[in-house]
Each structure stands twice: as C-alpha cells, then as structure tokens.
Amino acid sequence: MDLITPTDSKDAELKLALIDQALDAKGISLRFPEQLEAQFEEETGSARVRMAQRNKILATLLMYSLIVLDYFCVPDVFWLAFGLRFGLVTGVVALAYWIASRDPPVWVRESLTVLIAVTMSVAVLIIVAASDNPLRENYHLGILFMMMVAVIALRPRFPYAVVTAIALVALEGLTAWSVDTMPIESKFASVFLPLAFAGFALPAVHNLEKLERQNWLRSLRDRLRASVFEELSIVDPMTGLGNRRAMLQWVERMIKKGQADRVAIVMADIDHFKSYNDTFGHLAGDDCIRRVAGVLVSEARGSEDRVFRFGGEEFVTVLPGIGISEAVAVAERTRRAIAAKGIPHRPPGGLKHVTVSFGVASGELGPGLDLNTLIAEADRSLYVAKQNGRNRVIPPLVAFAESDLRDAG
C-alpha cells in the first residue's frame, strides 16, 4: 500500500514525528497514537488473523490429544469429557474461526482467543468436578496446559493475554477447590503454579509484542523517509511543481489507467527572461517564475491537467483527453492572464511587462507517438512563437476559428 504521495509531505512529517514519539515511549502500554494504531492494524491484521486461524486448529488438536488422559485418569466421566472436548470446545472454536474470518473489530478478534482458552479450561473444571476417580486430583493441571497453549500458541495481544491469565488462574483455583480430598497445601500449590507461569510468560508476551511493534515502526519510518526523498527528487523546490521526472511518472500512470491515450502538450517560455534577471536580479527572477507558475496552474482545467517546470523559465502543461484546438484555447487564455498580471519588465523593444510564448501539440499516445515526440513537436511550435515576435501561441487560436468558419460555410 502507498502511504505517502507528493501531496502528502506534511502528513509524512507528522507521521515521522509520531513514530519517533512512539519509539521513545516508556511504560507498560503498547498501544500507538490512534493514527499509527489504525495503520498498524490495517497492515498487520490480515497476517495476524491467518496465524491465529492456524493456531486455533493446532490448539484444538492438542486439546483432542488429552482424550487419552481422560480415558486413563477419569474413566468414570470419559463420555462426558468426550462430549465436552468434541462438542462444546469444538463448537466454540468453530464459531471463533468463522467470526475471525469475517474481519471483525480488533477487540472481537482478540477476545475470541480469551473465549477459546476459557472454554477449554471450563471443560477441565466440569470434568474434575463430575469425577470421583482419585486421579482427578492431578487433573486440574490441564488448566495450566491450557494457559500455555493460550499464551504461546494462540498469542493474544498483551492486554488480552493478561485477561486470559487472570481468568485461567481463577478457574484453576475453582477446579482445585472442587476436589474435596485434596489437601489445602496442594490446593494453594495448584494455584501458585499457573501464577508462576503467568509471571514468567506475560513479560515475555509483552516484550515480543513490543519488539513486533517497534520493528513495524522502524519499517514504516524507512518507507516514509524513502517516500519523502522520492518526492524531493520529483518536485521543483522553487515553484512546488513537479519536474521532468514527475511529468514522465504522472503520464505513465495516466496511460496505465487508460486516461491519457489522447493528450495535449502546452510548452510555455517566459520572454526575455535573461534580460529580466540582468535588470531586476536573480531573486526577482525567482519570484517572477513563481508568479508565472501560479497563473499556469490557476488557468489549467482543474484536476484533469498538470503543470510541470521543464527547466529554467520553461514549463509544460499536460492536458489529457483534449485535441489541439481546445489546448490552444487554454494556452491563449493563460497567455492573456499572465499579461494581465502586469509583472514589470523592460525588455529590449518590447512591452513593459512580462509576457510568455506558447507552443502547443496534441496527439494519441501509442506505438507511433510517444510523449517525448509530442514534447518535441510542442517545442518546435514554441520556437516558431519566439521567432514570430514572442507573446503568442503557436498554432494560433485564430487559425482554428477561421477553420471553423470555413467548415460552417
């Protein structure tokens, strides 16, 4: 996915600042600022769902394997255990699998892991409470196994791992206290084991998720920086317009979208610009270029057209989807708008304000006509405009008006 485009540089700077802030954040909370958190979930959520779906199946198969222990340790309630494992737990896992595949909100997706772990542990509690077999005293350790499966295999996000651990420790205590024949010391020991495991496992879960998030932040930062550098390489810093490279990339994208089969090129060159620099200085010359660029942009047809700085005092406007007569009309309108600005100038033997000459070409891009050929044709027309006295559009608008009159006659 493109995170940043040339018009998104401010957004990139804000995100880079947020990334640095998130990387420097201290404390137990792993959640990013809202904008980054949303992008993190968007980019990693699908892979996380796929991993969780595989691990649900693995956890269920591991839970099925315990049916062997049911047969030997609690034979008096074997069929109850069979029904709980292959009925209740399987049904809950299947439901969780289906819900997760429907792209639910993050809190639903992560809560499903808690639900599966709790359901498997409740099954152990029911089996122990229903059995009279002496071996049931050690059966409660199945909940510790479920905690290991939940934290290591299902791998919920850290807050949900904490909830899972608390719930399973509570279920472990209820299971141990349901065995009347178990000494009180054993009951306390049975609660201490999952507590000890949680004490070691939860910091590890926290550190793993923190590492995952920090790696993603660094990856995003690298992509954003590369995007900013790419933007700097295609944007003219003086005018903010795209340069030649930007023009080629933009036209290529338009062609791929099927929006630039027919295109017009308008080349513009500020008249007597060297004289302007010699008279008013280079800083004033830079300001003149910026003012002319502003008029070129304002006179374009909105989002359909794009203006680029071609080099020096030359500009190119790309107008997709129109013919030569319409492009000449746009150029003539722009020429008049620049003249009306009245930017002061003292050219040799000319007007007392800045003027611009235009060359126009149009054609259908394809195997017989590429963009460079069309630009060269517009450049030849611009040369003719310069030779014929400057401050004009070639071909002239009047030529198309006369042609229309002849066609009407």
For position 251, what pLDDT does the model report? Answer: 85
Q: What is the C-alpha to C-alpha distance for residues 268 and 314, in angstroms, rounded to an integer?
A: 6
Q: What is the C-alpha to C-alpha distance for residues 69 and 139, in angstroms, rounded to an integer?
A: 9
**Contact predicate 76/56, CB 8 Å:** no
Q: What is the C-alpha to C-alpha distance for residues 327 and 325, in angstroms, rounded to an integer?
A: 5
Looking at the structure, tell me whether residues 58 and 129 fall in a common domain: yes
What is the edge-to-edge ordering of all strands in the sheet holding 356-364? Answer: 306-311, 314-320, 262-270, 356-364, 393-394
Which structural domain, as residue segments, surrounds residue 202? 6-226
Q: What is the C-alpha to C-alpha distance for residues 153 and 386, in angstroms, rounded to an integer?
A: 75
Among the listed residues 213, 203, 139, the one whose alpha carbon sits nearest the alpha carbon of residue 176: 139
For residue 394, give the CATH number of its domain: 3.30.70.270
Its pTM stands at: 0.64
Looking at the structure, tell me whether residues 125 and 274 fall in a common domain: no
Looking at the structure, tell me whether residues 249 and 204 fall in a common domain: no
> What's the CA angle centered on 353, arms 350 and 358, to 5 degrees?
80
For position 406, what pLDDT does the model report? Answer: 41
Q: Is residue 317 part of a domain?
A: yes
Work out the mean pLDDT of the chain and round it to a whole number.
86
The residue ranges of the chain whose pLDDT is under 50 are 1-7, 402-409
Q: Is residue 233 part of a domain?
A: no
Q: What six digits make up the tokens of 387?
A: 């030779």
Looking at the structure, tell me whether residues 266 and 395 fall in a common domain: yes
Residues in CB range of 27: below 8 A, 6 or more apart = none
For position 57, what pLDDT does the model report? Answer: 92
Among the listed residues 59, 44, 143, 40, the one whose alpha carbon sits nearest the alpha carbon of residue 97: 59
Q: Is residue 105 part of a domain?
A: yes
Looking at the structure, tell me whether residues 374 and 298 fall in a common domain: yes
At 179-215, the pLDDT tens digits run 887 788 878 888 888 888 889 999 999 999 999 999 9
**Contact predicate 113/173, CB 8 Å:** no
Looking at the structure, tell me whether residues 317 and 181 fall in a common domain: no
Query: How close are the terminal C-alpha atoms of the chain, in Å?
Result: 56
Indicate the length of the chain as a whole number: 409
Q: Is residue 1 part of a domain?
A: no
Among the listed residues 12, 19, 16, the one whose alpha carbon sits nearest the alpha carbon of residue 214: 19
How buried is 207 (Cβ within 10 angstroms: 0-12 exposed, 13-18 middle, 19+ buried)? exposed
Residues in CB range of 166: below 8 A, 6 or more apart = none
Looking at the structure, tell me whether residues 48 and 21 fall in a common domain: yes
Looking at the structure, tell me whether residues 123 and 203 fall in a common domain: yes
Looking at the structure, tell me whether residues 291 and 379 fall in a common domain: yes
Q: Is residue 239 part of a domain?
A: no
The residue among 172, 196, 226 that closes a domain is 226
Domains in the chain, number = 2
Looking at the structure, tell me whether residues 212 and 253 fall in a common domain: no
Looking at the structure, tell me whether residues 213 and 301 fall in a common domain: no
Strands 356-364 and 393-394: parallel
Looking at the structure, tell me whether residues 45 and 178 fall in a common domain: yes
